[in-house]
Amino acid sequence: MKKWMAIMLLIALALFGSVIGFNMFKQKKIAEFMANRPEPEFPVTAMVTKAQDWVPTIEAIGFIEPNQGVTLSSELSGTIDSIRFESGAHVKADQLLLSLDSSVEKANLNSSQARLPAARAKFERYKNLYQKNSISRDQLDDAEASYRSLEADIDSLKATIARREVRAPFSGAVGLRNVFLGQYLEPGTQIVRLEDTSVMRLRFTVPQTDISKITLGQTIKINVDAYPQTQFDGQITAIEPAVNYQSGLIQVQADIPNNDGQLRSGMFARASIILPTVKDQIVIPQSAISFTLYGENVYVIHEADGVKRAKQVVVKAGERRGNDVHVLSGIKAGDQIVLSGQVRLSNDTKVHVVENDALAVPAQTPML
């Protein structure tokens, strides 16, 4: 029994020793392989930066408004006896659009106008009699009061009849009509929307830190979702004199010619305020920038002894426009930078530049 136990123990020790020896041998071979392995070289695409002109902009958003816009409503109550416009029509300033029944007021006006000559003649006759001391002053005052009161009644009736007519306060286009012939209207009933769309307006806000960069008459470019391929030109026409103390923003207004009638009020719009062109600037594709804990980085390729290595450089990025990034500092004109393949790179990694058009922006976005 003891002999059997001794044999088993020797076998176990032999197996244990062989495992340890094999692992040591494997680790040695791995170390030799790693020591003799050539330094890895990663393929990247690259470009050489060059100085170019850059047109800086201030981006803002807002909503399109008409030059003038008002919802017409009735001042008085009454029944509609005439409608002189159709939905969507263009109307001129002071054009009659709608009138309420004013037959009673017109009858009273005719009655008052018929009595006016007699009241005027009586007043003139009493003036002559008073000058001859034939009547008292009270009688003359009563005649004048009757005459003046009748004149005031006529003016009041004319004003009431005019208020029973709804006229266009300015030229423009009307929307959808909300009333019908014969309908009884209460005061304040909305009739139709009228807008002057010959010139549209865009109101937007900019940070107070940018107020020194904008001036009256400055050009802006406007894009709306309804016409993604069309860019509209406008000019800044008004700047709010006060800054909102809660948000730190200032309101700006721009006018946009609308000769073709494409723009409509309520459209969401993106505005780009065009600033003076700056020269000799570095502009690179967005794909060249990677993000780390240290900020935004670009890999710059340097060549020494015939070997190209990518060095990680921290850059300060400015305005972004589409796929372009305006770089303020960190790289200079003539630097060769990595465009793709950064995911496998670290500082001073060996690289070789390959041609690859995979990052090129397609002329047309493929349909899904």
- Whether residue 362 is predicted with pLDDT greater than 60 in this model: the reply is no
* Residues in the chain, overall count: 368
Which tens digits make up the pLDDT trace of 266-321?
A: 999 999 998 888 899 999 999 888 888 878 899 998 888 788 888 998 999 888 88
Quote the pLDDT of residue 4: 66
Asked if domains 42-54+278-353 and 58-66+198-274 share a fold, the reply is no
pLDDT at 26: 67
Angstrom distance (rounded) from CA 317 to CA 328: 6
Query: Which CATH code, of 3.50.50.60, 2.40.50.140, 2.40.420.20, 3.40.50.1000, is assigned to 42-54+278-353?
Result: 2.40.420.20
Is residue 302 a contact partner of residue 311, using CB atoms and an 8 Å limit?
yes
**pTM over the 0.75 mark:** no
19-36: pLDDT as tens digits? 676 677 667 656 655 555
* CATH architecture of the domain with range 102-163: Orthogonal Bundle (1.10)
Residue of 98, 267, 102 whose CA lies nearest to 190:
98
Tokens of 113: 């106008």
User: What is the model's pLDDT at position 124?
Assistant: 86
Q: What is the DSSP letter of 210?
A: G
pLDDT for 34-78, tens place per residue?
A: 555 567 888 888 889 999 998 888 889 999 999 999 999 988 899
Instruction: Give the CA radius of gyration of the chain.
Output: 43
* Summary mean pLDDT of the chain: 85
Q: Is 344 exposed, middle or buried (0-12, 13-18, 19+ CB in 10 A)?
A: exposed
First-to-last CA distance in the chain? Answer: 79
As a CATH number, domain 58-66+198-274 is 2.40.30.170
Helix-, strand-, coil-residue percentages of the chain, each rounded to 5: 30, 40, 30
Q: Note the pLDDT tens digit of each residue in 149-175.
A: 888 988 988 888 888 999 999 999 999
Long-range contacts of 280-283 (CB under 8 A, 24+ apart): 280/51, 280/52, 280/333, 281/51, 281/52, 281/53, 281/54, 281/326, 281/327, 282/49, 282/51, 282/52, 282/326, 282/327, 282/331, 282/332, 282/333, 283/52, 283/54, 283/324, 283/325, 283/326, 283/327
**DSSP secondary structure letters along 299-322:** EEEEEETTEEEEEEEE-EEEEEET
pLDDT bracket for residue 112 (50, 70, 90): confident
**Assigned token pair, 78:** 């009454």
Instruction: Decide if 143 contacts 123 (C-beta within 8 A).
Output: yes
Q: Domain locations in the chain?
A: 42-54+278-353, 58-66+198-274, 102-163
